[in-house]
Amino acid sequence: MNPKTTNKIAIGLIYTFVAIVVAILVSLIGYILVTGVPHISWHFLTSKSQSFLSGGGIRDQLFNSVYLLFLTLCLSFPIALGSGIYLAEYAPKNWITEVIRTTIEVLSSLPSVVVGLFCYLLFVVQMHIGFSILSGAIALTFFNLPLLTRNIENSLKSVSHLQREAGLSLGLSQWKTITGIILPAAVPGIITGIILSAGRVFGEAAALIYTAGQSAPIIDYTNWNVFSSSSFLNPMRPAETLAVHIWKVNSEGITPDANLVSSGSSAVLIILILLFNLLAHWIGNLLYKKMTSNF
Amino acid sequence: MKKYNLDENLIAKFDNEKAIVTNSVDVFYGNHQSIFNVNLDFPRFSITALIGSSGSGKSTFLRCLNRMNDSIANVDGNIMYRDVDINSKKVNVYEVRKQIGMVFQRPNPFAKTIRDNVTFALKKHGIKDKEELNERVESSLKEAALWDEVKDNLDKSALSLSGGQAQRLCIARTITMKPDILLLDEPASALDPISTAKIEETLKNLKSKYTIIIVTHNMQQASRVSDYTAFFHSGHVLEFDKTAKIFTTPKIQATEDYISGDFG
Amino acid sequence: MEIKKKLLRSSKETRQDKLGKGISYLSIGFIILLVSLILYFIISKGLSTFTQNNVNIWDFLTKQDWSPSSIGKDGKPEVGALPMIITSFGITILSAILATPFAIAIGIYMSVISPKRGRKFLQIIIEMLVGIPSVVYGFLGLTIIVPINRHLFGGTGFGILSATLVLFVMVLPTIASLTVDSLNAVPKYLSDASLALGATRWQTIYKVILRAATSGILTAIIFGMARAFGEALAVQMVIGNATLMPKNLITPASTLTSQLTTGIGNTVMGTLGNNALWSLALVLLLMSLVFNIIVKMIGKRGSIK
């Protein structure tokens, strides 16, 4: 075969493969939306789930997912910020920094089920916290930390070193230079990273099955007392999230309309995550424009 | 490249008041030595130019004077400022930099408004009074000859300024700290001739209040603005004297070659 | 003199820097502590099968019968994890083999063939594939792939084939995006030179660009495999969860992760049945470390070249 024919075949194959991938994605998203969206109704979003009857909704699961996401970000952002600053600004070039980086890589490559089991062992069992939003948020924090840390580190590093010199040459401390000059300049990247990580956290289930638990007890949305066990804000209650719910109804299979509930829940999950992605791009671009142009 | 005798040098001493004095300053990057035994006295309220080809060590040396090399290189020797060796580990490096400000080669305004660029460091150093801040903004922008161009747009992003304007903003930002000494590292190398002329004009006006040390590879610039000139070569200072003398009757062969363009 | 005094004493800035260093050192210290705790707990708990219950490590790794909660033929519980280990490796390798050509095609398309519009478009596709949560992949596998396999090959439809197909879609974006990065890192003058010498596009891609990006692509594949190996729920939902030695691709099997997710809730802490599951978790942990080491080794070799 002469090179020209080979070239044509090879390039053709590449196009075919790419087309197949695009087709797969389109059909996956299409399938979820086509089967799921018709099931999404006000009733579905606002009524509680059913174990043995059909017609259950996802109100509590949806709220749990959002609440858990909120707590996770509250826990993980400060730690990731501190660590990101350390890696981008303070870390000397030596073997200790190498070890630290490797440690973070190890954490990020641990299967989420292992992170979940560790939290189950330490917090749920040994510390007697039990299946709870708190345990779940801790597990998700561990799961989220390495990526968020790396994102913050990269956002900080992408700010020109000239800005650091400018700050230092004015007699500012390194800390004020970082927090007052570098960090604000890195905000677009950091916000984008947070929203993207929020999408990941929102869809995570393996780390939650044995930490936040698989049950959604009846909660009272009018009870604002965080310490009351029936309050929707109580972090010590077990809380099944939307992602865990999808897994549960499919693997235990006693809900008669499991398929419909899962399609509906999957559609809600996908739509929310797509919104997260869009929001991330949009806010990132907006902030970037705002900072570099006239305002 | 021609070989010059690096041990042959001529360092003039003057009787004027000194702003800053260096005694046998050496700089090492790891094992590599890039500055050798520099002894210079910088007269107060005057402009001293550091000239030399790229890689001659003039910028490295300048950065020693306000400790900007701390995290990149090892600096040996004494740098005496107000009877204090500011090259000592015990010295408060932030105070050093408040007294000895620096403007860099590439304009580096903060991604903030023009006003905030000037007031940012002032606020961090504890000046909260609005009136005073506004006054400082106006006076330093005037000193840097930028006021007329930006006075109506103080709340615009500094990133919207042209290169020359941005560089003058950086000068304003530095002098608003009321430093004693102003270090400039090739401040006009990234600018067009008109902006360069404006910066040079600004420097001449600033001379009455500040001691200015400027690194430049542009010999016309050095001869136009400076009172004293030090010629750097391969990390050594080969000649230091009044600018007029250096440019008309250099004593050292290397200086003469460099100035006449017969160098390298 | 006032300035002299100021120069010689510490100031607000000195304290700020101490505080800032303190905060950032504390955060990074927390992460280090966390990882050490995870390693310590999983390792010590995972080893208790061998130290407390006196199970032979070699038996654990090579025997094929898994029923740690009940007494087997020889009067001892049987803790043979080989079926899960084989299945885990099986689906990992199969899905990586399946995904790699597609990932490379996407990489070439994005970095060489259509680096502007095609790249933006495929970037969105990849991000969306990454964004779909694993339970949704599991659900899709359950409602699309499993029935198709049941229809085509008979049986239940659950099994290694279904798991492989689900994982294929899941690891594809991981491998593809890292492949794109490594292809983009190939300097443009290399391919320009090759094209200028009269090589066809494909010759340039195959002989120059792919060669130069080999270590990057290998790293991408390893990352994809690590993700496949550690994936729990999507696999658990479609593989059938039978702890049997896999005989073919279309009968139910069980992986380390699927056994963990189904088992932990049904066993009592401290019993052999439970400890044996922690040993599976230990195998997972060690494998994830091994993947890390392989990536490091590829990186080192790549940088020496």
Residue of B nearest to C11 (CA): B92
Tallying the residues shown for chain A, one arrives at 295
* A293 Cα to chain B: minimum distance (Å): 6
Asked if residue B60 belongs to a domain, the reply is yes
Q: Which of residues 208-237 of C touch A (CB under 8 A)?
A: 223, 226, 229-233, 236-237
Asked if residue C49 belongs to a domain, the reply is no
Give how many domains chain C has, as a whole number. Answer: 1
Q: Taking 50 as the threshold, does the pLDDT of residue C85 lie above it?
A: yes
Q: What is the pLDDT of residue A45?
A: 86
Range of the domain at B85: 10-260
Weakest mean pLDDT among B59-63, B240-244, C126-130: C126-130
Residue A156 corresponds to which amino acid? L
Q: What is the pLDDT of residue B11?
A: 87
- CATH number at C124 reads 1.10.3720.10
Q: Taking 70 as the threshold, does the pLDDT of residue C75 lie above it?
A: no
* A53 Cα to chain C: minimum distance (Å): 20
Asked if C155 and C251 touch (Cβ cutoff 8 Å), the reply is yes
For the ranges B155-159, C96-100, C190-194, the maximum mean pLDDT occurs at: C96-100
Condensed to tens digits (0 to 9), the pLDDT of residues B74-114 reads: 999 999 999 899 999 889 999 999 999 999 999 999 988 99
Q: Which residues of C touch B180 (CB under 8 A)?
A: 3
Q: Which residues of C touch B99 (CB under 8 A)?
A: 3, 7
Q: What is the mean pLDDT of the segment spanning B139-161?
A: 90
Residue of B44, B67, B94 to mutate, interface with C, max C Cβ within 10 Å: B94
Helix, strand and coil percent figures for chain A, each rounded to 5: 75, 0, 25
Q: Predicted ipTM?
A: 0.90
Asked if B217 and B101 touch (Cβ cutoff 8 Å), the reply is no
Q: What is the pLDDT of residue A282?
A: 87
Asked if residue C47 belongs to a domain, the reply is no
As a whole number of angstroms, the distance between CA C19 and CA C10 comes to: 14
Q: What is the pLDDT of residue A213?
A: 85
Condensed to tens digits (0 to 9), the pLDDT of residues C170-222 reads: 999 999 999 999 999 888 888 889 888 888 888 888 888 998 899 999 999 99
Asked if A87 and A153 touch (Cβ cutoff 8 Å), the reply is yes
Mean pLDDT for chain C?
Answer: 89
Q: What is the pLDDT of residue A1?
A: 67
Residue C195 touches chain A, beta carbons under 8 Å: no
Range of the domain at C300: 79-304
Q: What is the pLDDT of residue C38?
A: 94
What CATH architecture is A40-292? Answer: Orthogonal Bundle (1.10)
Q: What residues of chain A score a pLDDT lower than 50?
A: 294-295
C-alpha angle C164/C165/C168, rounded to 5°? 85
Residue B26 corresponds to which amino acid? D
pLDDT band for position B176 (cuts 50, 70, 90): very high
Among residues C216, C209, C217, the alpha carbon closest in space to that of C115 is found at: C209
Helix, strand and coil percent figures for chain B, each rounded to 5: 35, 25, 40
Q: Taking 70 as the threshold, does the pLDDT of residue C253 lie above it?
A: yes
Q: What is the pLDDT of residue C303?
A: 61
Asked if residue B53 belongs to a domain, the reply is yes
Q: Which residues of B touch A185 (CB under 8 A)?
A: 110-111
Residue spans per domain, chain A: 40-292
Residue B110 touches chain A, beta carbons under 8 Å: yes
Condensed to tens digits (0 to 9), the pLDDT of residues A231-273 reads: 788 888 888 999 999 998 888 766 778 888 889 999 999 999 9
* C124 Cα to chain B: minimum distance (Å): 30
Q: Taking 80 as the threshold, does the pLDDT of residue C69 lie above it?
A: no
Asked if residue C18 belongs to a domain, the reply is no
Record: contact B173-A181, CB cut-off 8 A: no
Residue B24 touches chain A, beta carbons under 8 Å: no
Residue A185 touches chain B, beta carbons under 8 Å: yes
Q: What is the pLDDT of residue A97?
A: 92
Asked if A113 and C283 touch (Cβ cutoff 8 Å), the reply is no
Token digits of residue B121? 């460091």
Residue of B65, B66, B94 to mutate, interface with A, max A Cβ within 10 Å: B94
β pairing state of B74-81 and B47-51: unpaired
Residue A174 touches chain B, beta carbons under 8 Å: no
What residues have CB less than 8 Å from B131, skipping those under 6 apart?
A: none
Give how many domains chain B has, as a whole number. Answer: 1
Q: What is the pLDDT of residue B4?
A: 83
Q: What is the pLDDT of residue C93?
A: 96
Q: What is the pLDDT of residue C238?
A: 92
- CATH number at B132 reads 3.40.50.300
Record: contact A171-B102, CB cut-off 8 A: no
Q: Taking 80 as the threshold, does the pLDDT of residue C106 lie above it?
A: yes
pLDDT band for position B5 (cuts 50, 70, 90): confident
